[in-house]
Amino acid sequence: MKGLRRLALALVVVVAVLAASGCQSVARGVVDGRLAPCPGSPNCANSEDPAKVFRVEPLAFSGDPQAAFRTLVAFLEAEPRVDLVLVEDDYAHAVFRTALLRFRDDVEFRLDAASSVIQVRSASRLGFSDLGANRRRIESLRERWNPSTETPVTRDG
């Protein structure tokens, strides 16, 4: 019984340390007019990364770029476990929390009005591999986001 208690305490300490370190953010933002490149670890996906291994498709839209970006922001506000950190006219930074251990991932969006797309970058704050979670997150957003409507389809319905 004493060994089980020690194991449980060790697990709590490990989770607490990981959660605390998850508060630190990786490099992000716009660099030379593009979203920051991925750090080199396979826990990132980015529509503007020069390395093909990290690349995903941006979110396409037609019509008014500002209206599409406002719709995206409304969509993000309706998502569970998402906190919008910064919203500007052409850039948004959100923090997505995982359901189980509440790890934080930084997800960024940059309006590319000239190309009628919203560039996207999703990166884990800690660890090396995310087993494709950031790529799946972007693909899930793409499947559910409809820029032609003000009523986004959320995970809850």
> pLDDT digits over 37-74, tens only?
998 888 899 999 988 989 999 999 999 999 999 999 99
Q: What is the pLDDT of residue 6?
A: 65
Domain that holds residue 104: 2-144
- Please state the domain count of the chain: 1
CA distance 29 to 37: 9
Using alpha carbons, select from 90, 137, 102, 138 the residue that is nearest to residue 23.
102
Q: What is the pLDDT of residue 29?
A: 84
Assess if residue 25 is contained within a domain.
yes
Assess if residue 157 is contained within a domain.
no
Q: How do 34-35 and 117-124 pair as beta strands?
A: unpaired
Cβ atoms 35, 121 nearer than 8 A: yes
Assess if residue 150 is contained within a domain.
no
Residue 122 reports pLDDT greater than 70? yes
Assess if residue 155 is contained within a domain.
no
Q: What is the pLDDT of residue 127?
A: 73
Q: What is the pLDDT of residue 100?
A: 79
Residue 24 reports pLDDT greater than 50? no
Q: What is the pLDDT of residue 36?
A: 93
Give the domain CATH number at 131: 3.30.310
- Using alpha carbons only, give the angle 74, 123, 111 rounded to the nearest 5 degrees: 45
Note the pTM of the prediction, 2 decimals: 0.75
Assess if residue 52 is contained within a domain.
yes
> pLDDT digits over 98-121, tens only?
877 778 899 999 999 999 999 999
